[in-house]
Amino acid sequence: MTPEEMIFCQSCGMPMTATEHFGTEADGTPNNDYCAYCYKEGVFTQECSMEEMIQHCAQFHEEFRHEDGRTYTREEAVAGMREFFPHLKRWKK
């Protein structure tokens, strides 16, 4: 799967690569915009600001990988998310 084909959660930016990664609507059908951690049974799992979401996701920075396989520092991850998140559906103004 190329980066262009990758589906990212429109709230936290997580790549959604497996069925269980997708959030659900109230009727149990998959939601193609949001991951299971952010969206469940038709509602967001937490109300937060974009900056709060960035700080929450930053704790997982060691799981993020550059294209060459290197991990991101927390600071690099936060800077990248501050650039990326304003383009996600949940945070667009």
Model pLDDT for residues 38-68, shown as the tens digit of each residue: 999 999 999 999 999 999 999 998 888 888 8
H-type alpha helices, 7-73: 50-58
Asked whether residue 37 falls in the same domain as residue 52, the answer is no
- Rounded Cα gap, residues 93 and 91, in angstroms: 6
Do 63 and 36 reside in the same domain of the chain? no
Residue-wise pLDDT tens digits, 4-43:
688 999 999 999 999 999 999 999 999 999 999 999 999 9
- 55 & 37 share domain: no
pLDDT at 93 > cutoff 70: yes
Question: From CA 91, how far away is CA 53, in angstroms rounded?
Answer: 10
Structural domain contains residue 23? yes
Cα–Cα nearest to 73, from 65, 14, 3, 86 = 65
Contact status, residue 82 vs residue 72, Cβ threshold 8 Å: no
Under a CB-based contact definition with an 8 Å cutoff, are residues 8 and 90 in contact? no
Q: Structurally, how many domains does the chain consist of?
A: 2
Domain co-membership, 20 together with 57: no
76 is in which domain, residue-wise?
48-88
The model carries a pTM of 0.88
Smallest CA-to-CA distance from 72 within 64, 60, 80, 84 is with 64
